[in-house]
Structure 1
């Protein structure tokens, strides 16, 4: 139950609901317990009439007893329903809190975490874990908690009439729970196996739906269906073993209960026959025993939902326990897991920013943008490996000065995109130093670092919603005039205006209603709105046709004005006008120079130019194999 306790602790802001549910349960329990006493009084009164020993106005007495029953029932039902309302709202608020914190946690996790996850599995884990946990707590609040209070009261009242009955009732619960605990360990192992298959199936489902055109074009519908069905088929096999084991143990538990309640009824019937109990006492105790029996027989369902909630909450807290990126102050505050002062970014000690060596200095606090330096991006002996021992970059050093346009050129897989990921703080260098505007990125808060850099990726990566929303994604407080200006400079205003809804046109998931060139121009406008001093063009035109490329390139030319630009290109024509080309070979810097210098140096760039100029089919294939287009 530790996981459930952690959930309650994480949602302690809901304490008014918890308190209200407790109060309602106490009132409902008290009203319910009145009923057996009223029935006892009514039974004794009627028996006295039958035996001829009744005194007073019996009719008035039994009518008032009936009124008491009515009032007790109405109070009980009214308060139970109000408690149920509180439980439903509590569960909805809990879902909101846990889901928001889960999402906030994901947003604060490092890129490496997502490299090892399937998107659909992350989504499935959210839905399953939180649904099972909130469902259990909702049921517990609406049903089980009032019943447990009733059981405690029944034990106390029963003890005042017959201690053997109270002892038998008291013995039922620990033994029943103990027998259940024997099955718990194996049950949870099997449940975890099922959850894994469900998450994998959900992950594949999301991938297939997101790339349905690929699935259909390769006529892989049946293959995908078989994979999906196979995951759930495995859950059926696991469920057979799990359910068989659970219900065999449940039959044993229920058999034990039947024996215990047999003993209770024998005591009641024999005691009444001997005169130890009056008929009214017997009716009262039978009612109380029935009240105790209901939650005991429902204990299997309670424990089943508890086990599911525990298994689900373990998955939830496994994600919440993942180490966050080195600093995500807003997100961590949102999840109530903000690090202490000694666990944040490294302490700053140092000299002026931009020093090539020696002590370091963190940027001033409270600033929105790093001050420009003569050198905007500097790499000093940077080495990086995604997996230990397999270096993607090796001792890379170069400098990009303010306002300079630099192109990174290498064969496919040469580390160009990895450099962009390091620049954005998605990963940290294994060794060496990366500086932006003179500050070591290890000392710059991630949100401040990423405000320095605007990126136009090869895939535009738009969101469902309107064109206006997608452009304003670069800066949410952008005015309508700024949005139109950015679209105009990106050569997007023309086609946007042609739509009936203009900038309010919804573009569908990932911008599916737009062409490749249109999506990329929206992405350029989004980068313009961000207005960052450093611009990264990560193969921004490689997937476009010639006409679309010209339009997008015109927008990129506007975007690059007065910015420090790093270009990764798959078309050599797009980098012919840069100031400097840096070539990478096997993860190391091979050459640095102007396009004119490297064109005749005999290095990678000159080799690529020669392949591009060649009319040989073999050379053209070689160029494409290296990851470049003519």
Structure 2
């Protein structure tokens, strides 16, 4: 019931549909209840006419005519009732279909909205496929249940109340037996559902994990095939579903064992009901028509009870499915986020922090430092409860300055950019960004990013370029495409910029995807640019083309570069080297080349012909 109430609260805008469906169900139920009375009356009219004929040696013509007229009217009444049932029933069914579709839209949209609001930490620990499977399974089960429940609830309630009242009117022991049947059946159903729900939850867990892995494998099929792991993946996938078979076996045995008990109890009670009706008819307390009417009512009384079994089954699936749905909906983004401060606006007149004095030449920093575009001041950060990844990070980047970050793999370079974009909160210290405003949205609008992995979406080339500015004109899209050398390969496609690139740009090469990513950042035209190893995965030819686009993109922008290839940072203004999560040196390329620090070591390793030095360079995840 709690789940039902929550769903109704989530979908309160559908109240007119709920009301319409219930009114239609009430009309259909009333029409159905009229049938026993009509057939009972018809039975009495016919039996009366036959009785007169048998006792008098033949019925008088006027009696026969009256009987025929009555039964024709009663037949017409049955026709009218049937037409009402068909018409209003289908109208209610139509409302139910529309309500179900609208409910799916509401629940799916709310789920997606919640996912978009959850912080990056949530996605660090969740399988994408599991998230998608939860959407498909949970919402389907909930909407199917609500559609059935809204159609059947009023029918069951009105039928139950009406049958109890009519039975009590004719003979109160009938109502007493029915009043016993309903709660006993409900109690046995409740006993059944406890274990059933637990087993259903276990099954859903296996299905979600299998579905999550399925999505991963489909998305990484080239890796699976190249490592010849098809059989292993299939075996693990099959094992999950075999586990659901064992759970289903236990679940089904329990359900049908309890259902046999419920049905047996129900049959015994209805045996008593029919016996009472038949005996009292023989004793003359009920007419033949009343007997027929009461027998039909008892059959109608069975329907809510037996339907209850089906409703409970779908309700259990909905409850089990909705648990995972509401687990996500109940997540508090703030608690998952882990706290910590995000970047704040850098106001004019702030007291400058340590811009980052070069260890090579402290005198190289001017006293008249302009207001920075980006400032890290005493920043400490670590993931979850782990040790700090970054410790006491302090530096400033002037407007229009190009700064590269160099260090060993895992040294915290990419983490710096994640903190700059507010994907995680720092444990202590502050990050300030000029013009960012107070909200994360305004911060991220100030920052353009080109990642190592282009991360394109299915759709056209034009749509991907305009992802950050969907309102951009075709002329603007093509202009940045030319600057990023996208037009070089686009003109080879028959559909040009309207070419569909497939999921994650599977139809394009790495260099082509990266050039689209550069064009996307160009069109965004943000004042701060982050290049997160943007050319490290490219071949030499592709790197030259992308690098040319990046050089154009960096003009007039404050640029932070995560360096993988040393050749890409020779022209930066300053280099910041990281060692063990701390800043080791800050200075120009020329200064750090002579300082004997990490950058100088990497340059020496790059120039060395020795295999051991080249191996060491690869271990540091840096190439020349």
TM-score range, shorter chain: over 0.9
Q: Is residue 405 of structure 1 aligned with residue 402 of structure 2?
A: yes
- The higher radius of gyration belongs to 2
Match of 2:285 in 1: 276
Computed over aligned residues only, the root mean square deviation of the Cα atoms, in angstroms, reads: 2.1
Cα offset, 1:299, TM superposition: 1.9
Give the deviation of 1:350 after TM superposition.
12
Aligned to 2:362: none
1:265 Cα offset (Å): 0.8
Deviation at 1:142, TM superposition (A): 3.3
Question: Which residue, 99, 103, 109 being the options, matches 1:90?
Answer: 99
| Offset at residue 244 of structure 1 (A) | 1.4
Equivalent position of 2:464 in the other structure: 470
Determine the structure 1 residue equivalent to 2:2: 2
Return closer, same or farther for 1:270/1:326 CA change in 2, 3 Å cut-off: closer
| Distance across 2 between alignment mates of 1:586 and 1:376 | 26
4+ runs deviating over 3 angstroms: 53-56, 142-145, 325-328, 348-357
Instruction: Please state if 1:425 is matched with 2:422.
Output: yes
Aligned pairs for 1:167-566 (under 5 A) are: 167-324=176-333, 354-355=350-351, 374-437=371-434, 444-566=438-560
Aligned in 2, Cα 1:350/1:598: closer, same or farther, shift over 3 Å? closer
Deviation of 1:382 (Å): 0.7
- CA distance in 2 between counterparts of 1:560 and 1:349 reads 22
Which secondary structure state, in structure 2, belongs to the residue aligned with residue 387 of structure 1?
coil
Aligned to 1:625: 619
User: Does the Cα contact within 8 Å between 1:327 and 1:445 map onto a contact in 2?
Assistant: no
CA spacing shift, 1:513–1:615, aligned 2, 3 Å: same
* Cα displacement (A) at 1:502: 1.1
* Superposed displacement of residue 566, structure 1: 0.3
CA deviation map 1:541-564 (0-9, x unaligned): 000001100000000001001100
**Aligned match of 2:361:** none
Query: 2:70 maps to which residue?
Result: 61
DSSP-derived class of the 2:24 partner: helix
Q: 179-188 or 394-403: which moved more?
A: 179-188
The equivalent residue for 1:368 is none
Q: Residue 532 of structure 1: SS of its match in structure 2? A: coil
- 1:149 Cα deviation (Å)? 2.4
* Aligned partner of 1:99 among 94, 102, 108: 108
Q: Please give the per-residue CA displacement for 1:466-488, whole angstroms capped at 9, x wherever unaligned.
A: 11100010211111111111111
Distance 1:216 1:426 in 2: 34
Cα deviation, residue 144, structure 1: 4.7
Give 2:169's aligned residue: 160
Q: Does the residue aligned with 2:389 lie in a helix, a strand or coil?
A: strand
Q: 1:489 to 1:102 in 2, by over 3 A?
A: same
Give 1:147 deviation, angstroms.
3.2
Q: What residue is the counterpart of 1:367 in the other structure?
A: none
SS of 1:57's equivalent in the other structure is helix
DSSP-derived class of the 2:432 partner: strand
C-alpha displacement of 1:327: 13
- What's the counterpart of residue 609 of structure 1? 603
Residue 81 of structure 1 corresponds to which residue in structure 2?
90
Distance 2:119 2:282 in 1: 74
Unaligned runs of 5+ in 1: 329-342, 358-372
Aligned to 2:356: none
- C-alpha distance in structure 2 between counterparts of 1:175 and 1:135, whole Å: 27
TM normalised by structure 2 equals 0.92
Deviations 1:154-184 (A, max 9, x none): 2222221121111211222222111221232
Displacement of 1:295 in angstroms is 2.2
Retained in 2: the 8 A contact 1:354–1:438?
Answer: no
Farther-moved stretch of structure 1 (220-229 vs 55-64): 55-64
* Cα distance in 2 between the residues matched to 1:96 and 1:604: 55
Task: Select the residue among 120, 131, 141 that pairs with 2:140.
Answer: 131
- For 1:352 and 1:239, the matched residues in 2 are separated by 66
Asked whether the equivalents of residues 348 and 371 of structure 2 are also in contact (C-alpha less than 8 Å), the reply is no
Deviations 1:443-475 (A, max 9, x none): 721111110111000011111111110001021
Query: Counterpart of 2:466 in 1: which secondary structure?
Result: helix
Structure-1 residue corresponding to 2:360: none
CA–CA distance in structure 2, aligned partners of residues 106 and 524 of structure 1: 27
Which residue is 2:22 aligned to?
22
Alpha-carbon distance in structure 1 between the residues aligned to 2:192 and 2:401: 68
User: Which residue does 1:332 correspond to in 2?
Assistant: none
- Aligned pair count reads 596
- Is 1:375–1:438's contact at 8 Å kept on the other side of the alignment? no
Which whole-Å CA distance do the structure 1 matches of 2:196 and 2:227 have between them?
A: 41
